[in-house]
Chains A and B, each alone.
Chain A
Amino acid sequence: AQTVTQSQPEMSVQEAETVTLSCTYDTSESDYYLFWYKQPPSRQMILVIRQEAYKQQNATENRFSVNFQKAAKSFSLKISDSQLGDAAMYFCAYSEAYSGAGSYQLTFGKGTKLSVIP
């Protein structure tokens, strides 16, 4: 079974600075998807960024970028120019690439709580 590990329960960053959240995963598949979701105090789950495992290029979305190391099974999220609105729980998630006997279900890490200091 796939597992996702986020080793940093809490992180803090100064406003306008850069922070990196760590995520490692375990899978025997060669094709899969990785996601970072943000959950603010409102409890909504908001997609931040997505990475396809067969693409070597790291995904970027404005101030958010990932460092995808497939061999190391590592998928970290970098937030640049941190803003107060970035304060939230961040979840790393894994999904298989092909339904097969599966479901494209998401396997989540336990999350990292990010605080942004003004």
Chain B
Amino acid sequence: DGGITQSPKYLFRKEGQNVTLSCEQNLNHDAMYWYRQDPGQGLRLIYYSQIVNDFQKGDIAEGYSVSREKKESFPLTVTSAQKNPTAFYLCASKGREGQPQHFGDGTRLSIL
């Protein structure tokens, strides 16, 4: 079945540590996205990528980094510069124009 796989489901970060969240899709979608969700809030865009080897900052990119070396993969690194990383992170991908974004099951990141 085609879909988006995020791992791990739960992740804990120590102070000063970088952590990487994985996102893989087998939908053959060109565009991929990372969103952050805080309690009682909607989703906010961190980074997006429309093609391989290209990505753009979203609304809240500070303290995060991404790469897009393969069409299927769009990992997100939460760096030590992100002072409030505790949140639920959702990855999404999108096919052709007009089609909706499809979401993974998310990763819950917490601080130890």
Contact = CB atoms under 8 A, between A and B. Distances in A.
Interface string A1-34: 0001000010000000000000000000000010
B103 A91 contact: no
B98 interface: yes
Given A104-B97, A110-B40, A110-B42, A44 B48 contact: no
SS of A interface (majority):
loop
Contact of B48 (A9, A42, A43, A103): A103
Contacts of A86: none
A99 B31 CA distance: 11
Contacts of B98: 33, 52, 97
A33 B97 CA distance: 10
Size category of the binding interface on chain A = 20 to 34
B100 A35 contact: yes
Contacts of B75: none
Interface of B: 31, 33, 35, 40-45, 48, 50, 56, 58, 88, 90, 92, 94, 97-98, 100-103, 105-106
Closest 4 CB pairs of A and B: A108-B42, A45-B103, A108-B43, A103-B48
24 contacts: A4-B42, A33-B100, A43-B88, A44-B105, A45-B43, A45-B90, A45-B92, A45-B103, A47-B100, A91-B43, A98-B97, A99-B50, A99-B97, A103-B31, A103-B48, A103-B56, A104-B101, A106-B33, A106-B35, A106-B101, A108-B42, A108-B43, A108-B44, A109-B42
